[in-house]
Structure 1
Amino acid sequence: MGDNSTALITGASAGFGRALALALSAQGWRLIITARGAERLEAVRAATGAYAVVGDIADPTHRAQLVGAVEAAGRLDLVINNASALGPSPLPRLDRYPLDDLAAVYETNVIAPLAVLQATLPLLRSSEGIAVNISSDAAVGAYEGWGGYGSSKAALDQVTAVLAAENPELRIYSFDPGDMRTEMHQAAFPGEEISDRPEPETVVPTLLQLIGTRPDSGRYLASELAVRS
């Protein structure tokens, strides 16, 4: 990546997205960031010099504004679709999962990342860029209560794999960071202690390694990349 490399990060105001934004900024990347929380997104913008667009990635109007910002930048080397919706907390079993809530989870976790990539793939092609969709072990494991979120991430994995097959000139990855100490993970375990989970900052180097080495498109686990490094 060159000195003017530009990255778009969704869900950048907290957790893994915030940690990624800070790390890429420290490496000299230009950033376009988005999230729903205006105050926290502004804090990340102030720390990174990023161009920030506040809004919900599931909202088509917001996505249009975001794509406008990307096009105005004139270059795009990396898209990280990090924004995710957990769904109701406590996590409901599938046999009683509210279908409106399930549709909202899919809108954020599947439809929105695909919409972002549909709009940005032309710029990524111009730079031989990279797209990363943040996945989860719930996409491949059958965990009670995780049917809504997990199935949405499984669908995102399939979207990622097919996009990669259709765009062999690009690198398109599903990245499973593993359990992390984030607000969303805490919401999945209300009232439980999750301090044993690693901080998001500790996982960032494995994704930077993936971006830097550009292996074949596919699904990658942070834990496996950490072992190889």
Structure 2
Amino acid sequence: MTTKTTGMVALVTGGSTGLGLALSAGLARQGWQVITDGRSEEKFKGAALPEAVTVVVGDLTDADHRDRLRTEVERHGRLDLLVHNASTLGPLPMRPLAEVDIPDLMHVWRTNIGGPLVLTSALLPWLREADGVLLSISSDAAVQHYETWGLYGASKAALDHVTLTYAAETGLRAYAVDPGDMRTAMHQDAFPGEDISDRPLPETVVPRLLALVEARPESGRYAAADLGGVLG
């Protein structure tokens, strides 16, 4: 059954922790209906998300899970914002490219680019109808070259390319945004044993992302730290 939601609807992947959790909560506080997903039901139990957030537990690389996300969008009857936030660093500890093999590549590629690509295609009818926004969370590793970050960085560069190609092919506004370093579990995984308490919390990035979605500048790749100047 489809229920035509009158308010704005967003789907944010990877909403159980970090930036995905902060963005899902931030959108809900601004009156959005939010659909989010993640692989851990336990993490969602401790997340204390607002009632306006619908959680669909599962793995984005799984076709049945993507179908459930599509069904949830259909139930809401619209989609104004699709955020590709879910991602993986790959095998830990992170390794030089010379030590990466095909299974490592397939795992990172399916999560960071394959899932987002096919999910976007599945949800295009609702995004088109709402003249919605496609937002992919990128990384400076997509354009810089750091030791051991090659596999992850290549996947984010591909995500940037796919995101902005969707903009060219559909006319929708689409953004690839580097949020900068954040104090998240994923960032801690990248720097095991290091103190990352000097990194800003993901909640500090959310206002910039919300302002970007509201302002709708030209499609492109942006750094969250620079959005103040871009958005005026």
TM-score range, shorter chain: over 0.9
Q: Name structure 1 gaps, 5 residues minimum.
A: none
Counterparts in 2 of 1:14-163, with a 5 A limit? Answer: 14-44=17-47, 46-163=49-166
Partner amino acid, structure 1, of 2:181: D
Distance in 1 of aligned mates of 2:41 and 2:121: 26
What root-mean-square deviation, in Å, do the aligned CA atoms of Structure 1 and Structure 2 show?
Answer: 1.5
Q: Distance in 1 between matches of 2:160 and 2:112?
A: 10
Residues 77, 124 of structure 1: 8 Å contact kept: yes
2:200 corresponds to 1:198: yes
Residues 167 and 173 in structure 2, CA contact (< 8 A), matched pair in contact too: yes
Q: What is the total number of aligned residue pairs between the two structures?
A: 227
1:48–1:136 CA distance, 2 compared to 1 (3 A) = farther
1:215 aligns with 2:217: yes
Structure 1 157/149 Cα, relative in aligned 2: closer, same or farther at 3 Å?
same
TM-score, with structure 2 as normaliser: 0.94
The code of the aligned residue for 1:201 comes to: E
- Distance in 1, Cα, partners of 2:208 & 2:179: 9
Q: Distance in 2 between matches of 1:134 and 1:204?
A: 12
Name the SS for the 1:220 alignment partner.
strand
8 Å Cα contact 1:171-1:216 kept in structure 2:
yes
Contact (CA 8 Å) 1:31, 1:51: kept in 2 or not? yes
1:10 to 4, 9, 13: 13
Structure 2 runs not aligned, ≥5 long: none
The alpha carbon displacement at 1:40 in A equals 2.0
Identity, in percent, stands at 51
Q: Deviations over 1:151-182 (max 9, x none)?
A: 000011111121111011x1111111011111
Structure 1 length as normaliser, TM-score?
0.95
What's the offset of the Cα at 1:99? 2.1
Q: Distance in 2 between matches of 1:42 and 1:165?
A: 39
Structure 2 contact 25–49 (Cα < 8 Å) conserved: no
Q: Which one-letter code corresponds to 2:184 in the other structure?
A: T
